Amino acid sequence: MSMLQFVIAVDVTVVNIALPSIGADFGVDGHTLTWIVVGYTVTGGGMLMLGGRLGDLLGRRRVLLLGTGLFGAASLLAGLAPTYALLVVARLLQGAGEAIALPAAMATIVLLFPEGPRRSRALSVWAAVASCGLVLGFVLSGVITAHLGWRWIFLVSVPFIVVVLLVAVFLVEGERPVAEEAPPLDLPGALLLTACPLLFILGVVEAGEPATPAWVVVGALAGSAAAGIGFTRVEARSGNPLLPLRFFANRTRVAANLATMLLSGALSTSFLLFTFYLQDRSGIGALGAGLTMLPLAVSLIAFSLLVPRLLGRWGARACVLAGIGFTAAAMASIALVSGLRAGGAAMIPAMLLIAAGMGFGLVGLQYIAVSDVTEDDAGIASGIQRAADQLGGASGVAVCVGIGFAPTLHSLDPFLAATLLAALALVTGAVVAWRMPAHAADRQEQEQTV
């Protein structure tokens, strides 16, 4: 399961440093290239809850194999794509494969380990693998693009996916057969949930482009709001909703997922700010930029080993607040380095702070978000948590980077603008986490540790 998580996490960031090479091959500009990143992230995040629901209804093993196979086939298609349009389609299919596979994988881990220190250690390994995959994606992107070409950033994952498929067949136990009259899936809900953030990001990104007509921006934002309202109504009337409204009865889980969106938005923004600063401001090439981010990957591993011990002593909420604080300090460091026009190595302290923010914040939020789950709703709880993480990251990048680097804000340093917007999200996340109701799993964790 962790190998699958690693490969998918790498694929989220591995395209970033390779984007200029892709654009040169297909003759497309940077504005068009952003959809390779955003399309994958939003499609994956929007369909994650559908994937979680599929796991609950059809069995985690079946859904795991289906999603993993789709992701592998889409990776092969992306690596061999003869046109830019087909590459974008392949990225959308990769997002769909991730959305189907990851909730089943996470639910498998959650149900294997009971609440307490064992589950916290298992989720820490899961989070550490994901975090390292996200960061190593930048490193691998630079190395592979420089020596093999951008197509191999997609092709290299295919053998690992084959291994996951083969091992999962033998190690993941089969479940009950699908009922003859299984309830229908909430496909309208899934479509509306995907359309809402996609249209929102389209409106935010295009708002910063002077050449974009105002009606496009207004129409996209209005469409996003309409999709959100429509999703709520569909879920309220559906006999088998994608997101049961009873989920919102648990205030702790709701708060954990909201805080996840806000923290992930700031963390994802930091990755792009590091890339832009190293390559554009400092003039470091793709390979050098990737290698400069190695301290971030190494420190993530260290913090991921430390957090499980502190999770039991401090409690999950305290770890979350510490993670948000570390991330806020990283944003201040990024703004300072940018203002001083320092060299690329000056970003390393900010990278270490981001590693601490991810290690403390996301592990604590993941633990809270899947607390008190049962066999029947483990998949949907995992899917919601992953969707909050991924959609929060995509929306955060669109708002912080899209607005911060917009041509209309030339009078303000884009790095300062982006970090200020990220800091606003972090303050909101800290308030949400501080007011988060205490939950039984957190108390049990502390009691077992004592």
* pLDDT bucket at 377, cuts 50 / 70 / 90: low
Residue of 35, 293, 275, 11 lying closest to 137 (CA atoms): 11
Give the three-class secondary structure for 4.
Answer: helix
In-domain check, residue 367 = yes
In the predicted structure, residue 350 carries a pLDDT above the cut 70: yes
Residues 308 and 409 in one domain: yes
Average pLDDT, the chain: 82
Q: Cα(231)–Cα(198) distance, rounded to whole angstroms?
A: 14
> What percent of the chain stands above pLDDT 70?
90
* Amino acid of residue 273: L
In-domain check, residue 299 = yes
Residues 302 and 193 in one domain: no
Residues 203 and 150 in one domain: no
CB 182 within 8 A of CB 59: no
Mean pLDDT of the region 206-226:
86
Q: Tell me the per-residue pLDDT of 326-346, one tens digit each, with 9 for 90 and over.
A: 999 999 999 999 989 888 889
Q: Tell me the per-residue pLDDT of 119-136, one tens digit each, with 9 for 90 and over.
A: 778 877 887 787 778 767
For 212: left if phi > 0, alpha if psi spans -120 to 50, otherwise beta; the answer is: beta
- How many CB atoms neighbour CB 246 within 10 A? 9
In the predicted structure, residue 11 carries a pLDDT above the cut 90: no
What's the pLDDT score for residue 447?
47
- The tokens for 40 are 């994958």
* pLDDT bucket at 450, cuts 50 / 70 / 90: very low
Q: Cα(278)–Cα(17) distance, rounded to whole angstroms?
A: 11
Mean pLDDT of the region 196-213:
80
Which CATH number goes with the domain that contains 308? Answer: 1.20.1250.20
What's the pLDDT score for residue 335?
94
Mean pLDDT of the region 30-59:
76
* pLDDT bucket at 408, cuts 50 / 70 / 90: low
Q: Cα(8)–Cα(28) distance, rounded to whole angstroms?
A: 26
What's the pLDDT score for residue 429?
92
Mean pLDDT of the region 26-55:
77
Mean pLDDT of the region 393-422:
81
Residue 178 DSSP label: P
Q: Tell me the per-residue pLDDT of 262-271, one tens digit each, with 9 for 90 and over.
A: 999 999 889 8
Residues 225 and 281 in one domain: no
Residues 281 and 313 in one domain: yes
In-domain check, residue 182 = no
In-domain check, residue 360 = yes
What's the pLDDT score for residue 31?
57
* pLDDT bucket at 223, cuts 50 / 70 / 90: very high
What's the pLDDT score for residue 440?
45
Residues 237 and 256 in one domain: no
Q: Cα(273)–Cα(157) distance, rounded to whole angstroms?
A: 26
* Amino acid of residue 36: I
Mean pLDDT of the region 2-9:
87
What's the pLDDT score for residue 356?
92
Q: Tell me the per-residue pLDDT of 174-189, one tens digit each, with 9 for 90 and over.
A: 765 444 555 667 788 8
Structural domain ending residue among the three candidates 225, 241, 257: 241
Q: Any idea which residue has 């070409």 for tokens?
A: 149
In-domain check, residue 132 = yes
Residues 213 and 260 in one domain: no
Whole-model pTM: value is 0.78
- How many CB atoms neighbour CB 114 within 10 A? 10
Mean pLDDT of the region 277-292:
80
In-domain check, residue 181 = no
> What percent of the chain stands above pLDDT 90?
24
Instruction: Count the domains in the chain.
Output: 2
Output the furthest CA–CA distance in the chain (Å, rounded): 66
What's the pLDDT score for residue 303?
83
Residues 210 and 327 in one domain: no
Q: Tell me the per-residue pLDDT of 416-436, one tens digit each, with 9 for 90 and over.
A: 989 999 999 999 999 998 887
Q: Tell me the per-residue pLDDT of 75-120, one tens digit each, with 9 for 90 and over.
A: 999 999 999 989 989 998 999 998 899 888 888 887 778 777 787 7
CB 83 within 8 A of CB 26: yes
- The tokens for 201 are 């990001």
Domain that holds residue 370: 2-172+242-449
Q: What is the DSSP string of 357-415?
A: HIIIIIHHHHHHHTTT--TTTHHHHHHHHHHHHHHHHHHHIIIIIHHHT-GGGTTS-HH
